Each structure stands twice: as structure tokens, then as C-alpha cells.
Chain A
């Protein structure tokens, strides 16, 4: 089995290379991709989040990016993660949690935004492979008025 740390690097690389179908397969069926809006925000849909996506919504997002009438992507965006080495903060036989500070740049023609944050990967072992049960992203400037964030952190 790939080490959990390598898995986290691999996951970011799939996004940066827009290999979204492969990326989608990294998630368990009950997975959650979550970017809370506030600090110390409890999990759950009664709180407004920036992302709170199950696999259905992730699929919609991926399919939309390929849609010929995704007008905001007529000029495509590209992104680049720069990860600090992931640290294993919880580990067990079948699951572990990693904490990964990161920088994320998203570029679209003449515009580029740079975001910073910390990602938490909650991984579960599944048929000899790591799968993501939850990816939680704590954005540094989540109180800011943010521009469009069009790809995936």
C-alpha cells in the first residue's frame, strides 16, 4: 500500500493535472469534501460552508468543468498546490489522519489568486488502498471577501 504521506502528494497532483476522474476514485462512497466558512465550525449541513460536497456534488463539479457551456471556464483555469510535508496526526490499522499546510495558486489568463490553508485528510484503508473519507480544508483567509475559486483545493 502506498504510504499515506505519498497518497496526499498524489491527490494534490491529480487535481493540478486535472485528472479529475482518477481523483474522484480516491474518495470512499460516503466521502465528504469540506471547506468550513468559520473557525472551529462543527461538521454538519446546518452551518454554511464554502464546500460541503458528497460524491454526487463532486461529480457535478467535475462534469461541469468539462461542459462546453461552462462559461466561466471558457478561458480555462489551472491550479498548483505546494504542500508542506504531511504530518500523521492520528494513525490506526485501518485509518489515519494527516495534516498538510499548503499554498494553492489558481490562474486564469491574466489573473492569479494565491490561497493558503491546512488540509486534513481522513484516510481509510479499503481493499489494500487508501481512500479519502473526508478532506477538510481550513482556509487561512476564510473571513475575506473571496474571488471565484473555480477548481479544487
Chain B
């Protein structure tokens, strides 16, 4: 019996300005997250450019659910359970590939499914009498999914919030990322960086809108880069190398991070960089601007480019940086084990220089070899280990807390406010306790 099986005990873990340490360290809570939160929420699976042709597939693990994202004969991208209806064998094991003959064939006993998840054939079907054929021989079914401008999400629970209802206006961050392509189209540009985090997934997600840590945690990397560049006495007007442009804003002062602003939406979503961000001052690429002006007209193009949001959290699984076209996806494996995948995107129709900026940022900041990433992960691990302490059960999320949040936490705040995290836990309780009817 799970010690948190009673929803009332789950609610007890979250108070308006603090959370109980068990949300990060207790395997029983993690198990319930996979059973409830990870099924009730809309979870990012992949981008439709990963499966450009009929029969192309990409496989992913969503909580406990192995899934296949596949493009069907009707060109629609579907998400299917990666589980044979017979004995449960995963139908595909490669990360991506092409379904031979436009069909999914189980490698174990040869059951064959169409790309919409319906059963096509079973060898020696006569081994099942008529009643058994009706009962046992069926397709794998299609999961509830939504393709939003190329970004494919799944909701594992059969019932629940609709896609638009769940994400609401936070989708404007995806809009801005896509609109930054002169053709209004993104393409995955490379295999993902995959970084094993030995910490709870929520530490990573919370950190994305945590504006109080960069100047502390990243002093040794970004601060060193800034110091080396400043002391190298660059000639007046010498262009800053791209890596310096990308590193140095991490050690901007508290005032900068406070003033960039954070917008909090219902259901745990939020973004930092309402007014400006660490991405605002990247030098412009003339040819790119010309193509954007030509595509959208100058006024609209300028408005798109002026929006330089820092990190948008699509709670709980997806975090994006539209301004530089990278996304990071949290794939929880255990209470203290999470894979963070970083994907880079090509702005279709933009010069390659834009992709170089994207790939450089992803490598500098998000790779398992990143000096910035090392210190972030170090802090998460230190938190994971520190929270085994019984000296206190509570983790404070109190910064700039206001009792007025009880009504609604949605709004715009100074970015050092911990409101985004409080908003996440509000959603957490909701998604953990929403339904007992989550099993399809």
C-alpha cells in the first residue's frame, strides 16, 4: 500500500509557501506522480519534423509509458502505446526509424498493426476461437495527442483537460519560437544532447524560472568567461565572440534578473523574460533580419524579434527557449534520476548562422560537458542529498509570497519572485489528486 495513496495525504505535502521534502525524495510520491500527474498532464513527446514521412517513427518514454510517435498513411502524426497487445513486448526499440512496409510488426510473435494502432493480422489466427478473437485480438489503440505547430503532446489519461484549456496563453511562447522562422516552420536540427541528472525532475523544472541562482551558481563559469574577455583588452569595437555573448549575461546582477519579469499562468506554466532577458542583447544577423522583414513586414518582424523570453515552462515536461530555438525535455526515470534532453531547432528559411547560435548555446549551457550545467546539477544533487536530513521537513518557496495568491496566482511579477514554483505546486496537487479514473 502506497503511504500517500490517500489524496488527502498528498495535499498535506504542499502549503501555500512551502513543500514537504517528500515531494523530492520519497519513491512513493514519485510512483504516484507517474500514475497520476504524468498521466493527467499534457506531456511533450516530440516534434513532427522528426517523422517527416509516412511510417517514420520516434519512440519515447513518458513516465511509465513507452510510446511511439508515428506518421500515418493520412500524414497525421499519432502517439501509440509502444506495447504489443499480445504479451506487452515493445514494438519498436530504436529511438527513431521507419516502419517496414508501413506497418508495426512485433519482433516476438509477429502481430502486425497499422500506423493508426489498429490490428491488421495475427499469425495462425485460428488458434483463437471466435469469442477469444473478439476479446484478445485487438489493436494497441491511439493515445490522446495534440500537434501544436509541430510540437506533439500526449495526455495518457483518457479523460481530462483539453490541450488549449491546459496550456492557455502560455502557448504564445511556442508561437514566438515558430514565428522566428521566416517560413513559420521549425525543424529538429540534430540528435539531442542527453544529460543524466541524478536528482528529482522537479529540481530541474523549478530551476528554469529561478532567477536567484545564476549569479551565484554560475560565477565560476560565466564570471570567468567575462573576466577573461574583459582582461584580454579587446580592440575598441572588436566583435564579442558568440560564446562570450552567451556566457556573460548569466552573471548579470540581481536587479537585471528582477526586472526581466516573470509571467505565471494557471496549471504550472510560466516564463521569465517578460521585459527582456539574457538573450536580448545578442548581436543581430543582418541577413536574417532582412528575410524576416520580407516575410512578415518590418513592424511585425520587429515585434517577433523583440520578444526574447528566457525560459518558458510547459509544466511538467517541456521547457523552451524560443529566442534561441532550443528546448529541454524532462524524462523522469526514478525519484532521483531524470534524463534531460536538449534539442536544437533550425529556423526554416533563416541563414545557417542562426543555427550556429542555437547549437553553440545548447553545447555551452546544456551538454553533459557544460561548465554551466555542471554547477546546476551539482546544486540539484546537493539538494537531493541535503533533503535526506530530518532536521526539517519543509522546503521554502516563500520569496515574495502574498496571501492574495490564494485566489489566483496568475500574473506578472518581478522575476526573483518564487511565484512560478508556487504555481507549479498548485498544479502538482491538482494533477496528483484530480482523478481516480485516469486509467483508460
A95, CB-defined interface residue at 8 Å:
no
A126, CB-defined interface residue at 8 Å:
no
User: Contact: B190 with A37, CB < 8 Å?
Assistant: yes
User: Contact: A69 with B369, CB < 8 Å?
Assistant: no
Interface hits, B339-369 → A, CB 8 Å? 339, 342, 344, 352, 355-356, 359-360, 362-363, 367-369
User: Contact: B368 with A148, CB < 8 Å?
Assistant: yes
Report the minimal beta-carbon distance from B338 to chain A, rounded to whole angstroms.
Answer: 9
Render B367-408 as a binary contact track against A, CB cut-off 8 A, 1 for contact: 111010111011100100000000000000000000000000
CA distance A143 to B355 in the complex (A): 21
Name B353's closest neighbour in chain A (CB-CB).
A46
User: Contact: A145 with B221, CB < 8 Å?
Assistant: no
Where chain B touches its partner, the secondary structure class is: helix
User: Contact: B355 with A64, CB < 8 Å?
Assistant: no
- Chain B residue numbers with a CB within 8 Å of A64 are 220-221, 224, 371
User: Contact: B225 with A60, CB < 8 Å?
Assistant: yes
Give the interface size class of chain A: 20 to 34
User: Contact: B193 with A48, CB < 8 Å?
Assistant: yes
Report the minimal beta-carbon distance from A37 to chain B, rounded to whole angstroms.
Answer: 6
Name A153's closest neighbour in chain B (CB-CB).
B369
- Chain A residue numbers with a CB within 8 Å of B189 are 46-48
Report the minimal beta-carbon distance from A112 to chain B, rounded to whole angstroms.
Answer: 14
User: Contact: A72 with B375, CB < 8 Å?
Assistant: yes
Query: Beyond A48-B193, A49-B363, is A56–B374 a contact (Cβ under 8 Å)?
Result: no
Render A42-74 as a binary contact track against B, CB cut-off 8 A, 1 for contact: 001111111110001101110110011111110
A146, CB-defined interface residue at 8 Å:
yes
- Chain A residue numbers with a CB within 8 Å of B375 are 70-72
CA distance A45 to B356 in the complex (A): 5
- Chain A residue numbers with a CB within 8 Å of B339 are 145
B194, CB-defined interface residue at 8 Å:
yes
A38, CB-defined interface residue at 8 Å:
yes
Known contacts A37-B190, A57-B243, then 18 further A-B pairs from the complex at CB < 8 Å, ordered by chain A residue: A44-B356, A46-B359, A48-B362, A50-B367, A50-B368, A51-B369, A60-B228, A61-B371, A69-B220, A70-B220, A71-B375, A72-B375, A73-B374, A143-B191, A145-B194, A145-B196, A148-B374, A148-B377
A residues at B contact (CB < 8 Å): 35, 37-38, 44-52, 56-57, 59-61, 63-64, 67-73, 143-150
Q: 4 closest A-B pairs (Cβ-Cβ)?
A: A72-B378, A67-B220, A146-B368, A70-B220
- What are 17 A-B contacts with C-beta separation under 8 Å? A48-B189, A48-B193, A51-B363, A61-B371, A64-B224, A67-B220, A67-B224, A69-B220, A70-B220, A70-B221, A71-B220, A143-B95, A146-B195, A146-B368, A147-B196, A147-B368, A148-B377
